[in-house]
Structure 1
Amino acid sequence: MAGRLTGDVYAGIDARLSEVDARVEARYPGEPSGRQPVHTVYVPAHRYSADLVARWGEQARAVFDACGDALGLDPAVAERVRRKLVTEPIEDLRIDFEDGYGRPGDDAEDEAAVTAGRVLAANPVTPFCGIRFKSFERATRRRGIRTLDLFLSGLLEHGELPAGFVVTLPKVTAVEQVGAAAEVLGHLETAYGLPDGALRFEVQIETAQSIVDGEGRVAVARIVQAAEGRCSGLHYGTYDYSAGLGIAAEHQSMDHPAADFAKAFMQVSAAGTGVRLSDGSTNKLPVGDALVPAWREHLRLVRRSLERGFYQGWDLHPHQLPTRFAATYAFFREGLPAAAARLRDYAAQVDSGVLDEPATARALSGFLLRGLDCGAIDTAEAENLTGLTRARLESYATFRG
């Protein structure tokens, strides 16, 4: 069968859209392969030590063993939480030289930066790690850069850059600060003999200017581009962002409408770019008489984030670890049967009454891979329920046909 259009028309359209094709492919490479941590634990630099991960794990296990029954968790979920608190209580550790650290003076921060780097080099015990340095605003820019430089000197004097290393750029008030941060990371790679692109950063979205700039443009999308491929994540900063909008302290929270507004912009701007998202934190700590109420609130907020496509969040206290993993495991285990069945039927081309497309298969396989990576799902049960190996799941998750 022959149509009426000539080959010149096809070639002309290809030529007309060639630059657009290249731009779209560069800007939207799709979901990156590999694991995303379910949380980032922020620890002030002056409280960081070689045994921190072990201490947090022990403290989390002790409180969960003593009070965990009050949460009414499914026994299978509770057992997985206990196992996680033994084997990997912290997935992503961020040593904080910003708000949690304060300004003790240049000499003290210089020493702390080098020391923290050396300690991390000798104890790379979490899958992901890094530091948060001070912002690139005028008042703190030089201090932040110097801290990062000195930290890397301590870290690299005895070894290599840890796998999963990422730094955090806070309080962006102009897109140009992101480009400047990318430039600094390039200079540091040269200075320390690191491969190009080895240093990456996540941007904290915690100012109004990070969402909409002074010209009325969507800033968060421009932030991703300004990072020149170095931006690995966008992290919502609950309290700085809320305070900057004038929201009363009592009403600042991860589920405030203003928070949802900002996170919707983050989600749309990051979609397809390979930049991952993280929700923020709750400041209602599960301690003392507030333990169980704060645990229930944390469970609710983590579940809410997961349902909205934010698979990572911040934790600030050891007692938040049990509920982080409990909410995450319950989410993936509850969704496992339906997701596995749909993907199995899709792979086998079975008429199940649900018409799924490649994009849905991508989402289903991505869901299962996240569950596997965090320990909510076992490899054997995933293969049994789907009939697919992990390699096949990964192929569906990255398919862009």
Structure 2
Amino acid sequence: MGQQEKVATSLAGAVSEEISASLAPVDAELERRYPGDPGTRQPVHTVYVPGDAFDAGTIRSWGDQALAALDAHAPDAASFAAVLGLSDELAEPVYSRVRAKLEREPIEDLRVDFEDGYGPRPDAEEDATAARAARLIAEAYENGTAAPYMGIRMKCMEAPVRDRGIRTLDVFLTGLIESGGLPEGLVLTLPKVTYPEQVSAFVRLLEAFEKVHGLEPGRLGFEIQIETSQSIVATDGTATVARMIQAAEGRATGLHYGTFDYSACLGVSAAYQASDHPAADHAKAIMQVAAAGTGVRVSDGSTNVLPVGPTEKVHDAWRLHYGLTRRALARAYYQGWDMHPGHIPTRYAAVFAFYREGFEQAAGRLARYANHAGGDVMDEPATAKALGGYLLRGLDCGALDIAEVARLTGLTRADLEGFAAPRRGDLTASAK
């Protein structure tokens, strides 16, 4: 035992108490505005299906069409890997998991579209289509054929279509209530948001519906689509998207980038409208910073290059979609849009390859961190959070299995969740 150190202080305890009291409003504001990630599953994609095209067999049909595309244009692991440039080590695991996913859960998040994909229709027709969507979604959740997440995209809150959008939402939600209640996986999407006041108005609309039906306040959340330049930077130079998140009063669940509307708004010519355009990167970077820590997740947009036609053309479209998806994942955009059944194989291939490529390294680093073991990388609590989130996302989508994660980390799913969603303050402390 060495000599015991003498500990001396100069400040009275009242100083710390006064500082804490002065910062109490800031502490409360941090908790309110930046609660952190909700810890729930985030789908890897959102599929948009026009309201008139959606039916009870849509999800299975998309899976079957995606499988047929593989059979026709990449019937085995080697041919698929050759198209996408997958390593020999990844070829079979990725291909087999893609096929299994298409058979088991081809769509993770489905939005029945009443906006651009549906267009203007007679009121009676849109009413009937919205009521039908509610019935079919309720039946899908009841019989076990639903995607994990399902809902609608209504028309926006701008004056020309506002009343129609409100009515469609009312018809749809009322239909769900009358069919047994709101499903847990319900998602609503508000498109073409330009001003925070439009978000506030949508919140008032949802509050009114909750009150009429005696629902718990805050039961209805929604995604905000970022499709205009004004939604990124306001006339006063402030970041509009940050103000939109606050205007949602805790109801915003996601920010979805609209590739083509946003590009067109900035005057990008049609040939260059893509999710990897510099204008797209700028918008998504602002979205990402605005959403960080708020519990609101960011989604990339889509590609409009469809994998259809002869094999050579399909392969070109697959390579494009795969590359864009991998690019988004590296930039921490863990979700995107898919517009055609032929996109689903490369969506899952990109996602599965992303998680399987880094799986062993991430598992090893987290295991060493959890066990306070040394290594060639000095990780901190914030990195442990990222490692835990990475492994959980891989598990949720089917890229990884819990048995292989447990084998390499010695951790349970609950352990991973603890690392991925630490309490505020834990990021500045050592792992327990």
**Does structure 2 conserve the Cα–Cα contact (< 8 Å) formed by 1:60 and 1:321?**
yes
Q: What is the aligned partner in structure 2 of residue 19 from structure 1?
A: 25
1:84 to 88, 97, 101: 101
Amino acid at match of 1:58: D
Give the alignment's TM-score, normalised by structure 2: 0.92
Deviates more, 1:116-125 or 1:51-60: 116-125
Give the Cα separation in 2 of the matches to 1:101 and 1:192. 28
Amino acid at match of 2:317: A
Amino acid at match of 2:168: T
**Does structure 1 conserve the Cα–Cα contact (< 8 Å) formed by 2:63 and 2:106?**
yes
Q: What is the aligned partner in structure 2 of residue 102 from structure 1?
A: 119
Amino acid at match of 2:14: D
In structure 2, relative to structure 1, the CA distance for the partners of 1:287 and 1:71 (3 Å cut) is farther
Q: What is the aligned partner in structure 1 of residue 371 from structure 2?
A: 348
Deviates more, 1:118-127 or 1:67-76: 67-76
2:351 to 325, 328, 334: 328
Give the Cα separation in 2 of the matches to 1:78 and 1:67. 13
Q: What is the aligned partner in structure 2 of residue 274 from structure 1?
A: 295
Give the Cα separation in 2 of the matches to 1:115 and 1:71. 41
* Residues 1:244 and 2:226 are matched in the alignment: no
1:103-118 equivalences under 5 Å are 103-118=120-135
Structure 1 residue runs of 4+, over 6 Å off? none
* Residues 1:162 and 2:183 are matched in the alignment: yes
* Residues 1:386 and 2:409 are matched in the alignment: yes
Q: What is the aligned partner in structure 2 of residue 301 from structure 1?
A: 324
CA offsets per residue over residues 95-136 of structure 1, 9 Å max, x none?
Answer: 000000000121111111111111111113110011000000
Q: What is the aligned partner in structure 1 of residue 60 from structure 2?
A: 54
Deviates more, 1:346-355 or 1:191-200: 191-200
**Does structure 2 conserve the Cα–Cα contact (< 8 Å) formed by 1:204 and 1:234?**
yes
In structure 2, relative to structure 1, the CA distance for the partners of 1:162 and 1:320 (3 Å cut) is same
Amino acid at match of 1:144: G
Q: Secondary structure at the match of 2:263?
A: helix
Q: Secondary structure at the match of 2:52?
A: helix
Q: What is the aligned partner in structure 1 of residue 12 from structure 2?
A: 6
CA offsets per residue over residues 183-241 of structure 1, 9 Å max, x none?
Answer: 10111112233222111100001111110112211101101000000000000000000
Give the Cα separation in 2 of the matches to 1:159 and 1:251. 46
Give the Cα separation in 1 of the matches to 2:286 and 2:179. 41
Give the Cα separation in 1 of the matches to 2:212 and 2:390. 40
**Alpha-carbon distance, 1:310 to partner:** 0.3
**Does structure 2 conserve the Cα–Cα contact (< 8 Å) formed by 1:94 and 1:129?**
yes
**Alpha-carbon distance, 1:65 to partner:** 2.2
Give the Cα separation in 1 of the matches to 2:404 and 2:80. 29
Amino acid at match of 2:228: T
CA offsets per residue over residues 288-327 of structure 1, 9 Å max, x none?
Answer: 0321100000000000000000000000111111000000
1:127 to 148, 162, 166: 148
Give the Cα separation in 1 of the matches to 2:136 and 2:93. 36
Give the Cα separation in 2 of the matches to 1:335 and 1:32. 24
**Alpha-carbon distance, 1:163 to partner:** 1.4
Amino acid at match of 1:330: A
Q: What is the aligned partner in structure 1 of residue 217 from structure 2?
A: 196
Q: What is the aligned partner in structure 1 of residue 197 from structure 2?
A: 176
Give the Cα separation in 2 of the matches to 1:301 and 1:182. 34
**Does structure 1 conserve the Cα–Cα contact (< 8 Å) formed by 2:97 and 2:398?**
yes
* Residues 1:395 and 2:401 are matched in the alignment: no
1:30 to 36, 41, 56: 36
* Residues 1:75 and 2:96 are matched in the alignment: no
* Residues 1:291 and 2:297 are matched in the alignment: no
1:362 to 372, 385, 397: 385
CA offsets per residue over residues 338-361 of structure 1, 9 Å max, x none?
Answer: 100000000010111311111100
Give the Cα separation in 1 of the matches to 2:9 and 2:73. 72
**Alpha-carbon distance, 1:71 to partner:** 4.2
Give the Cα separation in 1 of the matches to 2:377 and 2:298. 29
Q: Secondary structure at the match of 1:47?
A: coil
**Does structure 1 conserve the Cα–Cα contact (< 8 Å) formed by 2:224 and 2:252?**
yes
Give the Cα separation in 2 of the matches to 1:351 and 1:333. 24
Deviates more, 1:246-255 or 1:214-223: 214-223
Give the alignment's TM-score, normalised by structure 1: 0.99
Give the Cα separation in 2 of the matches to 1:215 and 1:241. 20
- Cα RMSD for the two superposed structures: 0.9
**Alpha-carbon distance, 1:2 to partner:** 2.1
Q: What is the aligned partner in structure 1 of residue 160 from structure 2?
A: 139
Give the Cα separation in 1 of the matches to 2:204 and 2:175. 21
Quote the sequence identity (%): 57
Give the Cα separation in 1 of the matches to 2:358 and 2:270. 35
Give the Cα separation in 2 of the matches to 1:71 and 1:313. 22
Q: What is the aligned partner in structure 1 of residue 243 from structure 2?
A: 222
**Does structure 1 conserve the Cα–Cα contact (< 8 Å) formed by 2:80 and 2:95?**
no
Give the Cα separation in 2 of the matches to 1:276 and 1:388. 26
Give the Cα separation in 1 of the matches to 2:334 and 2:319. 18
Give the Cα separation in 2 of the matches to 1:173 and 1:389. 43
Amino acid at match of 2:179: H
**Alpha-carbon distance, 1:274 to partner:** 0.4
